[in-house]
Structure 1
Amino acid sequence: MADGNRETTLSPDDAFALLGNETRIGILRALGEADGPLSFSALHDRSDVRDSGQFNYHLEKLVGHFVRKDDDGYTLRRTGRRVVEAVLSGAVTETPSLERTPVDEHCEYCGAPIEVTWQHGSVRMYCTECAGTYGRAYDEGRGVPAGEGYLGRLPLPPAGVRNRTPEEVLRAAWTWGNLEIFAMASGICPRCSATVETSVRVCEDHDASDGLCETCESVYAVAANVTCTNCIFVSGGGAVIALVANTDLLTFVTEHGLNPVAPESIRVLNGVHGDYDEEILQRDPLRARFTFHVDDDSLALTVDENLDVVEVDR
């Protein structure tokens, strides 16, 4: 029998094997919904398993790694809470439907109305008139044609779609996604908290004068790719995803009354973070200058080959 006061270590295979049972998931959910520790009898009363011996068998399988057992009863360990959070978020159980729908926001490039849809755990955004930002989408770690006008995606679990209008879904995704980007920009994986590595790609023959560059299928010549050193998390986009947490850029946007996490106008903040001027000063080693604009004010950040800021002009 596991020691309920000491957290056990399980291999990934063993952990998933323990969770591959409806009764055990039910136990974790019951503990997650409880206001405090539950006695064996109170926990058993919340289960569909009437045989106490069978119920105890499943419960003891969880004690140690997912569940704590002490004199007060049974409670969830942090690992157990993570399982319940994932289940209730819908990330592993639900596929909500949000067809491509117009919302009251506009493209940061051309000002045309945009449309949103929810697919594969993310809200995708599309301009209804211009070419957008990217020609390919990387929702599940592989590039696929994104469709005309693709502006990018923002992660959002299925629970974020429930009981929200399309506009509310977009705003929820914006805040959720920006918090994820802030973590990446700070060197932290938003999934597992390990360190991330950021690699830089520079298009050698960039020409986005007609919308998207035919070579790299992006409006940006300099792109950042983020990879976790521990889990399978990967992400990427324009170089700004490595700069959003920079103090000078944060000061610039907040001084103009813009909230970088939950903006009053997504379009205005998108215009700062997305529609910036890009100038490659030197290719080897890389030196690039990105100039951000709000009204008549501007901020120029010069970066090196690691996208570290080496010069600031205001």
Structure 2
Amino acid sequence: MVADQNSQIDQGVVDAITALGNAKRLEILLALDTVEQEHQKPWHTMSFTELYDAVDVDSTSQFSYHLDQLVGQFVSETPDGYRLTYSGNKIVRTVVSDVYESTSKFEDSEVSGTCLFCEEASLLATLDAEQFRIRCTSCDAILVTDFFPKSQTRGRTTAEILESVGYRIWSMHIQLRGDVCPECFGRVDTAFDVYEHNGKTHHLYSSTCRECKHIISIPIEVTAAFHPTVLYQFWEHDISLLDVPLWEFFEYITSDVIVTNIVSDDSVTATFEITLNDETIHLKMDDTGTVSIRK
């Protein structure tokens, strides 16, 4: 465990990572996972002999050495045999999905939506610095930035990749609403930030994980739009917000469907008016980010 990123790294972390630096040890983890998949049974065990036979190793002594390096952190030794631990299972999922690899190529694609800053319909989905980005080709604002693992692009067309990113962003927002980090599931601390471009500003709701320090920022209007009353209002007008990617959602801000008034910049309190076909919902957000009906 790393309690403080500025402190010395715990030797246990170094030892765990070192233990994975061998092909035979990864084969052991994959063999245990394969048996789980074949039996459709989580935590299925294998005997020493079964596991040895499943891995191409020259001798039992050599195999025992490699297995011993994994037992505890990545493999659990039980009276019934050996099985993957939670950590071992996560390593296997990472290896087989290639989620640890960034996407190497992606065809630039024009997407629907308007820029929050220049309000032009000139958005482009692109791969930049190994990250997925939505940027405006008119004013060069960066509107969306997200991880872009290789596993997200495999077997998907460009349109399907874009759709998957849209759902991934909403799923992250939903987890953050529950104080859950989408990366490591730790607790998050929330604060407000301001994104400025070409003299125009937009307020963001920023969440930082206490454990892995991952930061996710999203316009405060999203917080208002996901209030149950607003979701229902959109649904009544045949719009499912969960199916609208964030970059298309921006149009509701630029077209004044969602109008935001920052009451205080010090603690960031705000009011919102959401109007569809002359039906308006009035909301307010306090300094904790909690949104409620404004009467």
**Structures share fold, TM-score greater than 0.5:** yes
Indicate the SS of the match to 1:11.
helix
1:171 aligns with 2:180: no
Distance 1:32 1:119 in 2: 35
Distance in 2 (CA, whole Å) between partners of 1:156 and 1:119 is 10
Shift of 1:247: 2.7
Question: How many aligned residue pairs are there?
Answer: 274
Aligned to 1:150: 142
Offset at residue 167 of structure 1 (A): 0.8
Matches within 5 A, 1:267-306: 269-272=249-252, 276-294=258-276, 296-306=278-288
Q: Give 1:225's aligned amino acid.
A: S
User: 1:100–1:189: structure 2 CA closer, same or farther, 3 Å change rule?
Assistant: same
Determine which structure has the larger helix proportion and give its number.
2
Pair 193,245 (structure 1): closer, same or farther in 2 beyond 3 Å: farther
User: Which residue in 1 is equivalent to 2:213?
Assistant: 232
Q: Which residue does 2:235 correspond to in 1? A: 254
Name the SS of the counterpart of 1:237 in structure 2.
Answer: strand
Residue 49 of structure 1 and its aligned partner are, at CA, apart by: 2.4
Distance 1:238 1:50 in 2: 57
- TM-score normalised by L of structure 1: 0.74
Aligned position for 2:91: 83
TM-score, normalised via structure 2 length: 0.78
Amino acid at match of 1:172: S
Q: Aligned in 2, Cα 1:238/1:249: closer, same or farther, shift over 3 Å?
A: same
| Residue 92 (structure 2) pairs with residue 100 (structure 1) | no
Q: How does 1:16-35 map to 2 (within 5 A)?
A: 16-34=17-35, 35=38
Code of the residue aligned with 1:232 in structure 2: it is K
Alpha-carbon distance, 1:158 to partner: 1.6
| Deviation (angstroms), 1:159 | 0.3
Paired-residue identity, %: 25
Give the aligned residue type for 1:190: P
Correspondences of 1:50-69 after superposition (within 5 Å): 50-69=58-77
Please state how far the C-alpha of 1:26 moved relative to its aligned partner.
Answer: 2.1
Report the equivalent of 2:6: none
Q: Give yes or no for the alignment of 1:118 onto 2:99.
A: no
Report the Cα offset of residue 51 of structure 1: 2.3
Residue deviations 1:231-259, cap 9 Å, x none? 22112132135446533333333333433
Spell out, residue by residue over 1:174-231, the C-alpha distance to the aligned partner (whole angstroms, 9 max, x if none): 111211111112221112222111111358xx8xxxxx442xxx651x2222111222
Deviations 1:266-291 (A, max 9, x none): 76545347863221234455431233
Structure 2 residues not aligned, in runs of 5+: 1-10, 39-43
What is the CA–CA distance in structure 2 between the aligned matches of 1:175 and 1:255, rounded to whole Å? 21
Q: CA deviation at 1:293?
A: 4.3
Change (3 A) 1:78 1:119: farther
Change (3 A) 1:277 1:100: same
Equivalent AA in structure 2 for residue 240 of structure 1: E
RMSD over equivalenced CA pairs, Å: 3.1
What residue is the counterpart of 2:15 in the other structure?
14
